[in-house]
Structure 1
Amino acid sequence: MRHRLRSAVVGLVLTTLALASATARAEKIQIGCTATSDCASAMVAVDEGIFKKHGLDAEMVLIGINSNIPAAILSNSIQIGGPTSTVFLQAADGGLDLVAVSGASIMNKTSNDAIAAFVRNGITINGPQDFKGKKVGAPGIGAFLQVLFVKWLVEKGVDPKSVNFVEVTFPTMADTIKSGGVDAVLTAEPFVMRMTNANLGTVGARYAAELARTEPIIFYAASREWAEKNPETVKKFRAAIAEAAPIVNNDREKASAAIAKFTKQPLELVKLTTPNSAEPVLKPEQLAWWVDVMSAQKMLQSKLDLKKLILD
């Protein structure tokens, strides 16, 4: 009896030491994203212990404006970030040596229907022409929502220069609209529903639905130097994201809980909106449309080699 007890104690101690050792060996990384569902695969990987399972001690960091993510990556404030396709390409065009390490989210009918130009009370928008002379808030100049909106304006025959764009973070959009600081904001669910329910205004345009694209919205990126020095960490990160993506797409409860926790939005509100589709696979040709659109908007000055921008 005493022998069995001693063996059990020894076994418990060894198990505890093994778990402690595994925790100690876990590589610490910080992942920066804005308050949207586009990085839901990373949020779920944190919440469900998937990163830990793959040997990573990962922490999610909330970034106010997407265009700040490349600088945060290069300063090593975060090791991996979730820039929009447009922010990433503009940063690469500007000489920042970033590389995509995994896909995060893509456009589809659900995500496109969730995007809107939300207009404050007292402003009437009957068509694209009515945005002329208006002050429009975007979650980053050159960010995904703003570039799409400019593309939509051009297709509708409206000069984008006739619109005054300013930066407004997602968490401050409701207050900015309420105070009259802007005439409209470029946003998405659940922010649209939240502002609608608060009687702050109405949807002026569902511009992404009209464009109906299927390209990447956000993907995970790192500095090339960090990614090349840490190939095993990147491998573990990719494996964790690939495991978490199906949960985002198929388990609404777990996905909503993770999104609400990170974005600090009410869980019941988050549950009302389907998360943007998670897609861990990213190919160079998926960025070609973005390059064409951004070049037309004179956002890119150089010819980017898309194959070099995605880590093998």
Structure 2
Amino acid sequence: MPAITNSSSLVRRSSAAAATVALALMLGACGGSDTAAPQPAAADQVKDLKVGATPTLSGLGLRVAVSDGNFSSSSLNVSAVANKSANDAVPQLLSGELQVAQMDTITFMQARSQGLPVRIIAVNGEQSTNGGNGEMSAAGVVAKTDSPINSPTDLVGKKVGVPAIKTQTWMNIRAFVDAAGGDSSKIDFVEVPSAQTIDLVTQGTVQASTPAEPLMSSSIAAGKVKLIHNTDAPGNKGVPSSVYVATEDFIAKNPDTVRKFADSVYAAAKKVNGNRELAAKVAQSELKYTPEQLANAFYQTFGTSETTPAQLDKISDLAVKYGILTEKPKAEDLLADIK
């Protein structure tokens, strides 16, 4: 039986991991950034970018920008590098292995709360729904087709697999269960490998889990599982679920490059949002999904413009409520000034 981890041990592991990441980043930051130095001319700024991004459909926006030539038309040479995890990507930013990284907004906020010098330069994915019952989204909670679990409140007291404790998925589940009148503190959250989210449910190791797309839609279509609820937070349609991040030093030294990067990904988002044909084409060519895997896929909405402090406040309010952050950050401090 595949190993899973309960929430108490995960909290210890997550704390240790966060401390390790924080130390790595602060050591990297000790090299210093001379933000007072004269801004380099646009021609002298970095044009070759390695961008860490998820190899799943949530990384589709970046791949559309690459394959459609959005970056090359802006004189940028962008290479997508598969992220193992958002936490792994952050030290790579400060070491210079990556110039930009895609990460979920909560992981970014955690990094900032530790005093780490990273800021949002562009939106990647947006929450596609307001968390309504029966709506598909980029990820969801599923259970066996014959399970007695049929609603958010039925998750209370059950073992539910999530990517990790105190992440955006974990937080959003707690939010929609509480909004439905349940007590999310009584859910037994456990960490499960993303590739095994369906197998662990069908085997009975967990009673529900949270597959992402296109694994969720293909498994539902195959009759393996049923959708209980998507993993969107109630009322938060349009907030940035994931963002592109760079170090303050890189932003200060390469403002023209950063602006061109943001403009390019927003232009690509406008092309792919609502365009299943283009989304499927790029998902197959760049992410190596098969037509069968994508037959029923849900393609999330990608951001077409910069986020606002009010949108970030919606996320940080929940993060404080559920103990992910100890205090609410000033939203303006999370954003790069690249205008």
TM-score range, shorter chain: 0.7 to 0.9
Matched, 1:57 2:77: yes
Question: Can you give the 5+ residue segments of structure 1 that lack an aligned partner in the other structure?
Answer: 1-24
- Residue 220 of structure 2 corresponds to 196
Alpha-carbon shift at residue 311 of structure 1 (Å): 0.7
- Residue 7 of structure 2 corresponds to none
Aligned CA distance change for structure 1 residues 110 and 27 (closer, same or farther; 3 Å): same
- Residue 149 of structure 2 corresponds to 125
Matched, 1:38 2:63: no
Question: Helix, strand or coil: the match of 2:257?
Answer: helix
In structure 1, how many angstroms separate the alpha carbons of the residues matched to 2:251 and 2:295?
35
Matched, 1:94 2:109: no
In structure 1, how many angstroms separate the alpha carbons of the residues matched to 2:247 and 2:260?
17
Aligned CA distance change for structure 1 residues 226 and 210 (closer, same or farther; 3 Å): closer
For the aligned residues, what is the CA RMSD? 2.8
How do 1:139-218 residues align onto structure 2 when only pairs under 5 Å count? 139-206=163-230, 208=232, 211=235, 213-218=237-242
Q: Mark the structure with the bigger radius of gyration.
A: 1
Which amino acid counterpart does residue 117 of structure 2 have in structure 1?
D
Choose between structure 1 and 2: higher helix proportion. 1
| 8 Å contact kept, 1:117–1:185 | yes
Alpha-carbon shift at residue 99 of structure 1 (Å): 0.2
Question: Helix, strand or coil: the match of 1:50?
Answer: coil
Matched, 1:290 2:326: no
The count of corresponding residues between Structure 1 and Structure 2 is 288
Alpha-carbon shift at residue 296 of structure 1 (Å): 0.9
Deviations 1:150-182 (A, max 9, x none): 111222333333222233344342343344443
In structure 2, how many angstroms separate the alpha carbons of the residues matched to 1:213 and 1:243?
20
In structure 2, how many angstroms separate the alpha carbons of the residues matched to 1:122 and 1:140?
26
Alpha-carbon shift at residue 75 of structure 1 (Å): 4.3
Which amino acid counterpart does residue 312 of structure 2 have in structure 1?
L
Alpha-carbon shift at residue 196 of structure 1 (Å): 1.9
Q: When the two structures are superposed, what TM-score results if normalisation uses the length of structure 1?
A: 0.80
In structure 1, how many angstroms separate the alpha carbons of the residues matched to 2:148 and 2:95?
43
Aligned CA distance change for structure 1 residues 209 and 161 (closer, same or farther; 3 Å): closer
Question: Can you give the 5+ residue segments of structure 2 that lack an aligned partner in the other structure?
Answer: 1-44
| 8 Å contact kept, 2:198–2:225 | no
Q: Once structures 1 and 2 are overlaid, which stretch shifts more, 94-103 or 227-236?
A: 227-236
Alpha-carbon shift at residue 211 of structure 1 (Å): 4.6
Aligned CA distance change for structure 1 residues 210 and 242 (closer, same or farther; 3 Å): closer
Of residues 87, 90, 114, the one that matches 2:136 is 114
Alpha-carbon shift at residue 89 of structure 1 (Å): 1.4
Aligned CA distance change for structure 1 residues 71 and 168 (closer, same or farther; 3 Å): farther
Q: When the two structures are superposed, what TM-score results if normalisation uses the length of structure 2?
A: 0.74
Alpha-carbon shift at residue 97 of structure 1 (Å): 1.9
Q: Once structures 1 and 2 are overlaid, which stretch shifts more, 257-266 or 97-106?
A: 257-266
Question: Helix, strand or coil: the match of 2:304?
Answer: coil
Aligned CA distance change for structure 1 residues 199 and 108 (closer, same or farther; 3 Å): closer
Question: Helix, strand or coil: the match of 1:216?
Answer: coil
In structure 1, how many angstroms separate the alpha carbons of the residues matched to 2:179 and 2:250?
40
Q: Percent identity?
A: 25
| 8 Å contact kept, 2:218–2:294 | no
- Residue 7 of structure 1 corresponds to none
| 8 Å contact kept, 2:49–2:79 | yes
| 8 Å contact kept, 2:106–2:168 | yes
In structure 1, how many angstroms separate the alpha carbons of the residues matched to 2:88 and 2:188?
21
